[in-house]
Structure 1
């Protein structure tokens, strides 16, 4: 049986992986559980790993994999998603067909470091599992740089992006800065100021005015080649 904090952390990690395709950082876990230090998160992670609920992945910064959920939690989360959602696929399309890989355009490279030139042209296509995609249009970008490694995003990864012009605080987004440079960062809004946060302490958070930043899409998945 899990303690309340262990259960809360497991559910938080599960929800973030489902929403973003990558696990949360230790700082985000600490804030979500209202803990004073990351050492408490380390202890909770170790306890969850020892009980077989999660696994830490080697050679990936703070990358976690959910192995199972407690039955009661799994049932509750399943009930939350039981209500039908709008489906862009024809109603008579078989589930196995919908889950097949789809080709997405790779719109060049995106900086997970300092911003690079704005993305503009399709360089090639990549096959993406249909289950990774929801409604709306999607595209892919090849990551260059290491500023998002603590969010589980490494140099050379391919990120799958859902096109959108809006974002919630905490979302990992493609941000276009002054219509010239694009970067992959975590989005935070405070009034008319926007912070683009790295997930690597070697990089500073960059602050811009509302007019300087346009959201181009939100991270929904990640593809890695070994």
Structure 2
């Protein structure tokens, strides 16, 4: 890499600093915002230059896919963001996945994790707000009092489990909402346990 190329050097240093601080690389848009580059194609141009110079690598089909050569462990666990969830399909079926989001390995590990975007105000007392992302571990059983993702009436809902048998009782963390009682005939299924929440800023 030529020392005279100031912007290229600056982008390279930003990639290293951001990755060291956050445990995962910046997105193309974050790089553009840092250097006042409005066009994503221009950012890709600089990344390609860095790739050609041999100082970075890029993995296919990942939005945050820059790896600094000589530091191949980014400390990130790429977790799928799941869009629509429906009965009859695996939660991590390819058609359900919108993208993969990097999470720090120091906080979230394992291959059974996925992310869901929160819609609504039913869990605000638990600190889970509309637009947040919950980190979910794929499992079919949870303990009483834990927050779970339940597939019911063809939709995934996030609630605290207040009762499991004979009826499944879902408790919303919102004082203005009542518990939801689901009978076995309605075929509810627990599809995950909430293990974290990423706040919307």
- TM-score w.r.t. length of structure 2: 0.55
1:188 aligns with 2:162: yes
Partner of 2:106, secondary structure, is helix
Measured on the aligned residues, the alpha-carbon RMSD in Å equals 2.4
Deviation by residue 1:113-140 (Cα, 9 ceiling, x = unmatched): xxxx667611122111112224451100
How far has the Cα of 1:109 moved from its partner?
A: 6.4
Contact 1:109 / 1:143 at 8 angstroms: preserved in 2? no
- Structure number with greater CO (CA < 8 Å, separation at least 6) is 1
Cross-structure match for 2:175: 201
Q: Deviations over 1:144-175 (max 9, x none)?
A: 11110000001111110000000100110100
Paired residues for 1:1-226 under 5 Å: 97=73, 100-108=75-83, 121-135=96-110, 137-178=112-153, 180-210=154-184, 212-226=187-201
Count of residues in Structure 1 that have an aligned counterpart in Structure 2: 123
Gap regions ≥5 residues in structure 1: 1-96, 111-116
* C-alpha distance in 1 between matches for 2:75 and 2:184: 39
Larger Cα-atom Rg? 2
TM-score by length of structure 1 reads: 0.49
Contact in 1 for aligned 2:77/2:109 (Cα 8 Å): no
Unpaired runs of 5+ residues, structure 2, are 1-72
